[in-house]
Amino acid sequence: MMIRSFIAIDFPDETRKALEDIQKELKQCGAGVRWVKPSSIHLTLKFLGNIQAALVEEIALAVAQEIRDQPPITLRPAGLGAFPSRRKPRVIWIGMEGEVQRLNGIQARVENALEPLGFVREKRDFRPHLTIGRVKDRRRLQSLVDAMATLDMEPFNSFDADEIILYKSDLRPTGAIYTKLHRMPLAAPASP
């Protein structure tokens, strides 16, 4: 059996609520955007695609061993952007601040763990972001661009990510449903 899967960092409900508030503000422009459900937003470290169900345990073990000595990481969503550009948005995202250098290192360790299992290393530089919407048509696109430029974002609170998660993704007409298959903890800091 094949499972569509990816590895990501989850975050607190408080962060989800703040992301939902930003989506509500941007929705008012009436642009043709398919907004990601706040409960489905996550920070993807590696998209695996379709994998054999029998590989799930091996993937989780390899990644867990690779990150086990890494302490929890402090992150904070910040900044609104779009791919390929803010003037021609196709994907609307929120960036990340905080221990981004360490996050890049953890993402590289995930790549290191998976390469021997046959997963091709991502060629593009890792750009940590939270996808909040995808433009589905050009309707009222300029209104969206203007709304993004003038949006007054309240600062997000920082959070400590203490695990990364292997997810299963079931694609449905109503949107993807994500199921946590494995939690891979980052090491707890040593007591003084």
Q: Which residues are catalytic?
A: 42, 129
Return the axis-axis angle of helices 56-67 and 100-114, rounded to nearest 10°.
140
What's the CA gap between 18 and 46, in Å, rounded? 24
Q: What is the CA angle 97-101-103, rounded to 5?
A: 80
In the structure encoding, which two tokens stand for residue 128, read together?
A: 């940590």
Helix, strand, or coil here: 55? Answer: helix
Q: Are strands 159-161 and 129-135 parallel, antiparallel or unpaired?
A: unpaired
